[in-house]
């Protein structure tokens, strides 16, 4: 992770973009307090194929029925 102040970010913006494109996190700070992060825009992932999991995933009729209390309590441990 690279942390720079605002003045350095303005002066070296192109370099900081290159760091981010190489995968390094770049934080811009003011008086040592982080304000912003430069990250690359990721290309879209794999094209979605509708129906890919047809006949593999099953949904039951009671899918919207509340969970049993025993299971709900597990979430609050």
Per-residue confidence (pLDDT) for residue 37, from 0 to 100:
95
Per-residue confidence (pLDDT) for residue 42, from 0 to 100:
75
Sheet of 26-30: strand order equals: 2-5, 26-30, 33-38
Where in the chain are the domains?
2-38
Superfamily of domain 2-38: YefM-like domain (3.40.1620.10)
Retrieve residue 77's tokens.
């441990």
Mean pLDDT by 10 residues, the chain (77 residues): 93 94 92 92 79 86 89 88
């Amino acid at each position: 992770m690279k942390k720079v102040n605002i003045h350095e970010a303005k002066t070296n913006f192109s370099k900081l973009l290159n760091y981010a494109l190489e995968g390094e996190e770049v934080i811009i700070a003011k008086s040592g307090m982080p304000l912003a992060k430069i990250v690359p825009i990721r290309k879209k992932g794999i094209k979605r194929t509708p129906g890919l999991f047809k006949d593999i995933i099953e949904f039951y009729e009671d899918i919207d029925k509340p969970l049993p209390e025993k299971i709900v309590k597990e979430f609050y441990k």
